Amino acid sequence: MVRFQTMTPQEYKTNHRNFKIIYGFYPTPFGNCLIGITSTDNAIIYLGFVDKSNKEALTELKSNWPFSELIKNIGNEINEIIEKIFFKQISTNDSILVLMKGTEFQIKVWKALMFISDGTTITYEQIAQNIGKPKAVRAVGNAIMKNYIAYLVPCHRVVGKSGSNKYKWGTKRKENLLIHERKYINI
């Protein structure tokens, strides 16, 4: 079960000294990833797949959280989180905390993604309707594109009305994520 904490960009500017970001690079069934968690409550603030260099991925993490100090992981906290996310089915007894920083609209879109069933897809248009903004399809697409917590905030479950299958971390990976999820449906 994924639990949400949210903050606006302004709240981040005001409160960024309250936590540091612990980060690390880890292998997953879908390729290497970079994960960042808060030093206070291990909330995931970034989870992205690394297809380029580690340095480029770290630059993206830093650009999303520019005021926070980054500390390379030396403990086991992140290992346990990675294990929960990618190497076993998350049960209702498990809890993974994410901290999403964005506008009110973006947060509404990201929360709506959490209601898409594992292994299924819906359109950007359906998301816009689900959040009560049926004409905001393009804005929904932009918000989804700015999701910086891959897999857990499942933007990979959204497709274009025409069937387009874009994904920040590659369409093949998107297909593999959906196939992986389908393995656990009705277990």
Residue ranges per structural domain of the chain: 2-100, 103-184
pLDDT at 92: 53
- Annotated catalytic sites, by residue? 155
- The Cα angle at residue 114 between residues 52 and 119, in degrees rounded to 5: 75
For domain 103-184, the CATH architecture is Orthogonal Bundle (1.10)
Q: What is the DSSP string of 57-119?
A: HHHHHHHHSTTSPEEE--SSHHHHHHHHHHSSPPPTT--EEEEEE--HHHHHHHHHHTTSPTT
Phi/psi for 158 (5° steps) reads -110, 135
Burial class (CB in 10 A: 0-12, 13-18, 19+), 48: buried
CA–CA gap between residue 182 and residue 74 (Å, rounded): 34
pLDDT attached to residue 93: 59
* pLDDT by residue, tens only, the chain of 187 residues: 889 999 999 999 999 999 999 999 999 999 999 999 999 999 999 999 998 889 999 999 999 999 999 999 988 879 989 988 888 765 555 689 999 999 999 999 999 999 999 999 999 999 999 999 999 999 999 999 999 999 999 999 999 988 788 898 999 999 999 998 888 765 4
Please tell me the predicted confidence (pLDDT) of residue 187. Answer: 45
- Burial of 32 from C-beta contacts in 10 A (0-12 / 13-18 / 19+): middle
Tokens coding 63: 């650009």
Confirm or reject CATH 3.30.160.70 for domain 2-100, answering yes or no: yes
- What span, in angstroms and rounded, lies between the C-alpha atoms of 57 and 35? 10
